[in-house]
Amino acid sequence: MSSVITTATPAPGRGSDPSPAAGGARRRPLLTRVRPWLLLGPSLIVLGVLLLWPLVQVVLLSFQNYGIREIRKGSTNFIGFDNYVEAVTDPQLWTVVVPNTVGFAVVSVLTTVAFGTLVALLLARLGLVWRTIVGSAIMIAWAMPAVTGTYVWTWIFDADRGIFNTWMQGLGLIDGPTNWFTNRWAFYAIVLLNVVHHGFPFVAITVLAGLLGVSKEMLEAAEIDGAGAWRRFWKIIFPTLKPVFSVVIILSTIWDFKVFTQVFLMPGGAGSNRSVLNLGVWSYVESFGQNRYGFGSALAVLLTLVLLVITVIYIRTLLKEDQL
């Protein structure tokens, strides 16, 4: 006769945790918990010193009437939100600065993305050798410093020695030297050429990387079914590359909203022609041209808030794409 002997295990008392993992989690060494912060610490310190501290100083200056006198005395003169009130009630903000900033950003982004996409479609049709040659050539435009490119475009449209005026006179379209930089629309047309020339290689290479992943079998099947190039692009290529276009458009918007060099270095763009000011240049002119550092800081904070909103949209877009 066999018997089975069972050993009863005592029920855990209140407050005890039978799970070894849970007990081990509570007994995790302190170094294990703080190790991620120790690894991130140097980068966070650098970001804090280089980005956060200057930003805090700009915000503090925006609440002050700060000029040469305060710099000499080393004093502060807090005036609350007066600088912001002055900025938003200044007619120049709404009639000149905002249209120049927002309008130019919209047109520039659309033009850059459209032209870059066309170049990417061209590169996708080339063989590997020619794609490498053409891709390397257009990347030179992206590698060119903005200062250098701006001076080149300034020389092209120079009233006396510019090749554009020479061609226009040769064709009989203008009678003599014309200063294109005095007109607001002509000024920003030249800036647009400059910005698009400098920015389209990034769009082209990024979109090209996405195009190489589009199913060739699907495109060939659509072509056999009679779909033209325009229909194939909107029905197959664009939906597939929608995440790529979202990122490219948002990044281009951030860059074109805060465009500074291409405007400031153009004749009249440094403040002598008030009709071509955008938000970034206006902030600089008020700060270092008029010595109104508080008011200029308020304008810089407004621009930062706009870019922050765009950045939040960019991050949300990236997170959504990661979830797909």
Length of the chain as a residue count: 324
Q: Please report the pLDDT score of residue 237 as a whole number.
A: 86
Q: How confident is the model at residue 322 (pLDDT cuts 50, 70, 90)?
A: low
Q: How confident is the model at residue 323 (pLDDT cuts 50, 70, 90)?
A: low
For residue 82 the two structure tokens come to 């007066």
Spatial separation of the C-alpha atoms in residues 229 and 222, rounded to whole Å: 9
pLDDT at 261 over 70: yes
pLDDT above 90 covers what percent of the chain? 40
pLDDT at 161 over 90: no
pLDDT above 70 covers what percent of the chain? 90
Q: Please report the pLDDT score of residue 8 as a whole number.
A: 47
Q: Please report the pLDDT score of residue 99 as a whole number.
A: 93
pLDDT at 104 over 90: yes
Listed in sequence order, the residues at least 6 apart from 118 whose beta carbon sits closer than 8 Å to its beta carbon are none
Give me the domains of the chain, ranges plus CATH numbers.
93-323 (1.10.3720.10)
pLDDT tens track for 48-99: 888 888 888 899 999 999 888 888 887 888 898 999 999 999 999 999 999 9
Spatial separation of the C-alpha atoms in residues 83 and 316, rounded to whole Å: 32
- List, in sequence order, every residue forming a beta bridge with 78; answer none if it has no partner: 64
pLDDT tens track for 303-319: 989 888 888 887 787 77
**Mean pLDDT across 2-28:** 49
pLDDT tens track for 173-231: 888 888 999 999 999 999 999 999 999 999 999 999 888 888 788 888 887 878 888 88
**Helix, strand or coil, per DSSP, at residue 78:** strand
Quote the Cα angle for 303-300-199, to 5°.
55
Q: How confident is the model at residue 295 (pLDDT cuts 50, 70, 90)?
A: very high
For residue 172 the two structure tokens come to 């009989």
Mean pLDDT (the chain) is 85
